[in-house]
Chain A
Amino acid sequence: MSRLKTNHIVETLIWLTFIVVFFVYSFEFNQEIEIYIFGATGWPRVILGLLLLVTLGNFLHLYKKGSEIQQGRVGITDEEENISYNSIVSIWKLIAILCLPLIFAWSLKPVGFYSATPVFIVLIILLLGEKRIKWVLGIALFIYLLLIVLFMVILNAPLPQGNISPFYDFSAFMLTLNTNLHQSLNF
Chain B
Amino acid sequence: MIDNFISGSAALFGDPFTIGIFVFGVIGGMLFGAIPGVSMLTLAAILLPFTASLEPAQGVMLFAVIYCTGTYGGAITAILFNIPGAPENAPTAFDGYPMTRKGQSGKAVGAAVLCSAIGGISSALIMMAATEPLANWAISNIGPPEIFALVFFGLAVASSVGGRTMWKGWMSVLLGLLVATIGQDPVGGINRYNFGFSDLAAGIAFVPAIMGFFAVSEIFVQAEKKAVGKYEAPKMSLDFPTMMELWTHKIAVIRSILVGFFCGILPGIGATLAAFMGYGEAVRWSKNKESFGKGNLEGVISSETANNAATGAAMIPLLALGLPGGAMTALMVGVFQMHDLEPGPMVFYNSPDLIWIVFAAMFYANLSILFIGIIETKTIMYLLKIPFQFLAPMILLLASIGSYIGRGLVLDVIIMFGAGIMGFLLRRSGYSIPGIVLGIILGKIGEQNFAQGMQMVHYDVLEYLSRPICLLLIIAGSLTLITGIYKALSYSLKS
Contact = CB atoms under 8 A, between A and B. Distances in A.
B336 interface: no
Interface in A15-71: 15, 22, 25-26, 29, 31, 33, 35-41, 43-44, 47-48, 50-51, 54-55, 57-58, 60-61, 64-65, 67, 69-71
A55 to B, nearest CB: 7
Interface in B208-232: 216, 220-221, 223-230
B223 A94 contact: yes
Contact of B488 (A11, A26, A61): A61
B249 interface: no
Most A Cβ at <10 Å: residue of B46, B177, B220, B393 = B393
Contact of A108 (B191, B289, B413): B413
Contacts of B290: 72-74
A54 B292 contact: no
Contacts of B418: 102
Q: How large is the interface on A (under 10, 10 to 19, 20 to 34, 35 or more residues)?
A: 35 or more
A98 B430 contact: no
Interface stretch (B67-75, B253-261, B402-410, B461-469): B402-410
Contacts of B262: none
Interface stretch (B56-64, B119-127, B309-317, B421-429): B421-429
Contact of B401 (A11, A72, A159): A159
Interface stretch (A118-126, A166-174, A176-184): A118-126
Nearest to A33: B188
Given A61-B167, A64-B493, A147 B401 contact: yes
B307 interface: no
Q: Please report whether the interface of chain B is mostly helix, strand, loop or mixed according to DSSP.
A: helix
Given A70-B488, A85-B228, A125-B393, A51 B174 contact: yes
A137 to B, nearest CB: 12
Q: How large is the interface on B (under 10, 10 to 19, 20 to 34, 35 or more residues)?
A: 35 or more
Interface stretch (B10-18, B324-332, B384-392): B384-392
A134 to B, nearest CB: 13
A84 interface: yes
Given A50-B174, A90-B228, A76 B397 contact: no
A47 B181 contact: yes
Given A75-B94, A160-B404, A22 B178 contact: yes
Interface string A121-161: 10011011110000000011001001100010001111110
A11 B447 CA distance: 28
A41 B447 CA distance: 11
A160 B411 CA distance: 11
Contacts of A139: 390
Q: Please report whether the interface of chain A is mostly helix, strand, loop or mixed according to DSSP.
A: helix
Interface stretch (B128-136, B157-165, B351-359): B157-165
Interface in B448-486: 450-451, 454-455, 459
A61 B187 CA distance: 38
Contacts of B427: 79-80
A98 B417 CA distance: 9
Contacts, number: 238
B223 A105 contact: no
A51 B293 contact: no
Contacts of A57: 167, 170, 488-489, 492
Nearest to A39: B188
Given A74-B289, A102-B418, A94 B190 contact: no
Given A36-B187, A60-B492, A73-B163, A51 B171 contact: yes
Interface in B363-398: 387-390, 392-394, 396-398
B171 A80 contact: no
Most B Cβ at <10 Å: residue of A54, A75, A84 = A75
B284 to A, nearest CB: 9
Contacts of B388: 128
B389 A40 contact: no
B228 A86 contact: yes
B294 interface: yes
Contacts of A44: 178, 181, 192-193
A72 B490 CA distance: 13
B392 A124 contact: yes
A93 interface: yes
A135 B126 CA distance: 53
A72 B488 CA distance: 10
A5 interface: no
Contacts of B401: 113, 147, 151, 157, 159
Contacts of B170: 50, 54, 57
Contacts of B292: 74-75
Given A43-B447, A124-B392, A147-B397, 19 more contacts: A35-B187, A39-B188, A43-B451, A51-B178, A69-B164, A75-B293, A79-B98, A80-B428, A83-B230, A90-B227, A101-B396, A101-B400, A113-B401, A120-B397, A129-B389, A130-B387, A130-B389, A151-B405, A159-B401
Interface of B: 46, 94, 97-98, 101, 160-171, 174-175, 177-178, 181, 185, 187-188, 190-193, 195, 216, 220-221, 223-230, 283, 289-290, 292-294, 387-390, 392-394, 396-398, 400-401, 404-405, 408, 410, 413-414, 416-418, 420-421, 424, 427-430, 432, 434, 447, 450-451, 454-455, 459, 487-489, 491-495
Q: Kindly list the 5 A-B residue pairs having the minimum CB-CB distance in the complex, ordered from nearest.
A: A75-B293, A33-B188, A128-B389, A58-B167, A61-B492
17 contacts: A36-B451, A40-B192, A43-B181, A43-B447, A54-B167, A57-B492, A72-B289, A74-B290, A75-B292, A90-B228, A105-B413, A108-B400, A113-B404, A128-B223, A128-B226, A156-B46, A157-B401
